[in-house]
């Protein structure tokens, strides 16, 4: 079986890759029966010479590869028929802008496996860049705060190289005694927490966060059972929230009245109630000055996230009185950071971490007849047909 590392073709370009040169060598060492090719790229964070120096063939022709590994959506005209592809397709939520991509995969007899659909038997994600989204998202949130109030100006994350570089910049900041609320206990939330801990910000309990005043910056880290409540007053049960989000309502206002910065790394399911509402943001009791919405669900649970921002322009102002975008310097503005491709700003660390997990959790399935059903569960389409698990996309994929 031959694996090909494809050149990222989406615009704007993405510098990440599924396997760094060293991790690809680890792959070759563990599974010597596998073959490899690397498509040359001028934008990839690792140079072609780094792969070639470890003995990998650099070649524009990947037509003899069985499995093609990428990060972002592959341009339709670059899809090679009758291959297995891995990439983030952004089709499983019926995203209209990628309808033609799924149709092309069906027409070209491609086996499409989305990194997002790689889950265990309980539906838990096996692979992703969530941790790195949290890392860069936290950094960008403080950058937004500094720019909004003209307190400090730190480099863009994309101009630095590693997580430690980001932490070193944050550690030098002379922050006022702000309160930072972090939501979400998944990979995104824990990535953001690494940054708060790395910059030596003191963590306090939820109770103290809500009731005490501090002379130094502090943060608290909470999960959904703290900012949602059952509408009927019953205790919050995790499985019930995932299966019946309509049973719940926001209990976030207690935080919006004391937090200066909100870093949103929450889990959000369609039909879940809002977390931070327009009414909370308009309230005279609202204290939130900056929202770093790492989850970035437009028209979703965080009312001030009215559009995604970009790596080039990572923040904008939100006027809670008009529910409209304004300049970050506007006197009524709440600063919003809502970049939807944050890991792109830390391509080396993100690629190295992703490849390590991919080799550990996904690659063995190719050599053990998919004993745990990892590939089967993740396959969106094969042999020109949607699989049973993804048959709900039938209308979406129709002409």
Catalytic (active-site) positions: 72, 90
The H or E element containing residue 351 is helix 347-361
Is the peptide bond prior to 204 cis by the omega test (within 30 degrees of 0)? no
Residues 293, 287: Cα–Cα separation, whole Å:
16
Residues 307, 329: Cα–Cα separation, whole Å:
18
**Are the CB atoms for 229 and 236 separated by under 8 Å?**
yes
Q: Which two tokens stand for residue 99?
A: 């309808």
- Provide the β-strand partners of residue 182: 221, 263
Coil, strand or helix: which one is 54?
A: coil
Residue bearing tokens 């007053």 = 233
Residues 144, 284: Cα–Cα separation, whole Å:
22
Q: Which of 280, 299, 294 is nearest to 336 (CA)?
A: 294
* DSSP secondary structure letter of residue 232: T
How many other β-carbons are positioned within 10 Å of the β-carbon of residue 368? 9
Q: Which two tokens stand for residue 73?
A: 């959506």
Q: Which two tokens stand for residue 253?
A: 């206002």
How many other β-carbons are positioned within 10 Å of the β-carbon of residue 123? 8
- Concatenate the DSSP letters of all residues of 273-338 into one string: PPSB-HHHHHSTT----EEEESS--TTSSBTT--S-B-SSS-EEEEETTTTEEE-TTSTTPEEEE-
Coil, strand or helix: which one is 12?
A: coil
Residues 71, 243: Cα–Cα separation, whole Å:
30
- Residue 282 region by backbone torsions, left for phi larger than 0, else alpha for psi between -120 and 50, else beta: alpha
The H or E element containing residue 103 is helix 99-107
- Provide the β-strand partners of residue 335: 290, 317
* DSSP secondary structure letter of residue 147: H
């Amino acid at each position: 079986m031959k694996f090909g590392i494809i050149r990222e073709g989406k615009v704007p370009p993405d510098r990440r890759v599924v396997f760094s040169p060293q991790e690809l060598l680890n792959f070759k060492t563990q599974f010597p029966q596998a073959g490899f090719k690397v498509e040359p790229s001028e934008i990839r964070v690792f140079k072609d010479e780094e792969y070639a120096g470890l003995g990998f063939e650099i070649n524009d022709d990947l037509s003899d590869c069985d499995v093609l590994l990428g990060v972002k959506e592959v341009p339709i005209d670059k899809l090679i028929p009758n291959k297995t592809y891995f990439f983030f397709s952004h089709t499983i939520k019926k995203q209209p802008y990628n309808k033609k991509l799924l149709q092309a995969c069906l027409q070209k007899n491609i086996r499409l496996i989305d990194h997002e659909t790689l889950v265990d038997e309980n539906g838990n994600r096996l692979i992703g860049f969530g941790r790195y989204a949290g890392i860069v998202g936290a950094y960008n949130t403080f950058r937004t705060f500094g720019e909004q109030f003209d307190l400090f100006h730190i480099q863009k994350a994309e101009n630095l190289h590693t997580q430690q570089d980001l932490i070193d910049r944050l550690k030098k900041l002379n922050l006022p005694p702000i309160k930072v609320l972090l939501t979400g206990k998944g990979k995104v939330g824990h990535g953001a927490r690494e940054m708060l801990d790395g910059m030596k910000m003191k963590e306090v309990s939820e109770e103290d966060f809500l009731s005490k005043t501090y002379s130094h910056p502090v943060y608290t880290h909470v999960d959904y059972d703290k900012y949602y409540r059952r509408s009927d007053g019953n205790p919050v049960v995790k499985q019930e929230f995932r299966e019946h989000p309509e049973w719940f309502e926001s209990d976030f206002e207690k935080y919006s009245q004391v937090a200066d910065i909100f870093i949103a790394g929450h889990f959000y399911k369609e039909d879940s109630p809002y977390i931070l509402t327009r009414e909370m943001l308009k309230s005279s009791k609202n204290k939130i000055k900056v929202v770093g919405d790492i989850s970035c669900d437009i028209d979703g649970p965080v009312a001030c996230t009215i559009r995604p921002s970009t790596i080039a322009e990572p923040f904008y102002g939100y006027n809670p009185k008009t529910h409209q975008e304004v300049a970050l310097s506007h006197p009524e503005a709440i600063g919003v950071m809502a970049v939807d491709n944050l890991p792109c700003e830390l391509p080396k660390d993100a690629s190295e971490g992703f490849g390590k997990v991919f080799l550990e959790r996904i690659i063995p399935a190719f050599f053990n007849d998919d004993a745990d059903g990892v590939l089967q569960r993740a396959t969106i389409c094969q042999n020109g047909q949607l699989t049973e698990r993804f048959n709900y996309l039938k209308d979406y994929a129709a002409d």
